[in-house]
Amino acid sequence: MENQSVRLAQPQDVAVYGLGHEDKAARGSIVTSLYIAVEVLIAVLAIAGNILVCWAVRTNPRLRSTTNYFLVSLAVADFAVGVLVIPASIVISVKLAMNVHGCLFLACLVLIFTQNSIFSLLAIAIDRYLAVKHPLRYPVLVTSRRTHLLIALLWVLSSMLGLIPVFGWNRSASARRVCPGSEGANETMPGPLSRANGSGRRCAQVYCLFEHVVDLSYMVYCNFLACVLAPLLAMLVIYARIFAVARRQLRSLGGCPRAVLRGELRAAKVLLLVVGLFALGWLPLHSLNALGALCPSCGRPPLWLMDTTIVLSHANSAVNPIIYALRLREFRLTFLGLARRDSWLASRARALNAGAGHPPGHTVRLTIEP
């Protein structure tokens, strides 16, 4: 990219994405302990909450809808953040020396799962638009088989996009290598052909920091602008269309179709909230990366700000189950039933006995099949 008009910052100028920051070694032990404690708490919540979502859909036949299959795919990605990405972030925060290719793969994990999350959210938005716009053709257009096939394709596409740095678009050639020095010390040398103490041995390890191995142009132009920001803007347009179509049809319908549309509208509001929380969790970190890349003279963001945006992005993986429990009654009933070790039928019977006075269509479920 020799002729590009905007010079991207060098890796030492900016901290990227959150799997390592050169200044983490300078963080005090108390702050480091607090950072790790918060990350561990988020990981536990993400793992437990998203297992609960997957188990709820498995045990309750009323939750087995095409939309909820996409929610399960989203839950799997969030579960993986808790199991893989957050532990990797904690380990790398101590400036671990490792093989450059292993570091690249570790750095790409978060890219794969984030990409799948946003693809799942986009698929959900399109699914809900088809349900509202073409209610009669929807069961024919969106079948379980097609949904499962699309979910598999989205995982393959997410993996391909997330692993692009592993296949060449990276900074491994210029990463500073960690060479075993004499007298038990390590010394760092630039480039892949560095030799340790003139011994002729190639230095194969690097301090595994995201910004040392992942090219910033990939992060800004491919990952952020093309694969995160563009789908988010598309989702905003789709949900705007959903609300416009639903309100127009509500004015012309009555009876049962009107109740179904109201349910779709409430479900769309919940899903839009999930999209909004995803944007709130990830856009601050992406924005800092883009600012540092496109404005090298702006300087490195404060470490506390980077840590806050990193934690915020990881916390997004723990919030969706909470949203489902608070806003979607069928999920809430199933969660309570699982906590009591009830069957879903027993949970529904208890709920119906407690709220027998509610009119039909009073609750919001993502199980509406027009």
**DSSP letter string, 96-115:** -EEEHHHHHHHHHHHHHHHH
Burial 325-359 (b: 16+ CB within 10 A, else e): bebbbbbbbbbebbeeebebeebbeebeeeeeeee
DSSP-derived 3-state class of residue 238: helix
* CATH (one of 3.50.50.60, 1.20.1070.10, 1.10.8.60, 3.40.190.10) for 16-354: 1.20.1070.10
Among 6, 1, 28, 2, residue whose Cα is nearest residue 303: 28
Report pTM: 0.80
* Measured distance CA(310)–CA(34) in Å, rounded: 14
Tokens at residue 74, please? 């989203």
Distance between CA atoms of 295 and 219, rounded to whole angstroms? 15
CA distance 3 to 162: 26
Identify which of 272, 225, 223 has the alpha carbon closest to the alpha carbon of residue 246: 272
Token pair for residue 188? 């760092």
Please give the C-alpha separations between residue 45 and each of 315, 317, 341, in angstroms, as whole numbers: 9, 9, 20
Would you write out the chain's pLDDT as a tens digit for each of its 370 residues?
A: 444 434 344 444 444 544 444 454 455 677 778 888 999 999 999 999 999 999 999 999 889 888 899 999 999 999 999 999 898 888 776 667 788 888 888 888 889 999 999 999 999 999 999 988 888 898 999 999 999 999 999 999 999 999 999 888 888 777 677 775 533 344 444 554 444 444 445 566 777 777 778 888 898 899 999 999 999 999 999 999 998 888 887 777 655 566 777 777 888 888 999 999 999 999 998 888 888 778 877 777 887 888 889 899 999 999 999 999 898 888 988 898 888 876 555 655 655 554 444 443 333 445 433 3
Determine the Cα–Cα distance for residues 367 and 267; give it in Å rounded to an integer.
9
Burial (CB count within 10 angstroms: exposed 0-12, middle 13-18, buried 19+), residue 256: exposed
Q: Is 205 left (phi over 0), alpha (psi -120 to 50) or beta?
A: beta
CA angle, residues 322, 281, 89, in degrees to nearest 5: 100
Angle of helix 255-294 versus helix 230-252 axis, rounded to 10: 160
* Under 8 Å between Cβ of 81 and 8: no
d(CA 92, CA 265): 43
The backbone torsions φ and ψ at residue 293, rounded to the nearest 5 degrees and listed phi first, read -75, -40
What are the distances in angstroms from CA 106 to CA 58, 101, 191, 210, 239? 31, 9, 20, 9, 34
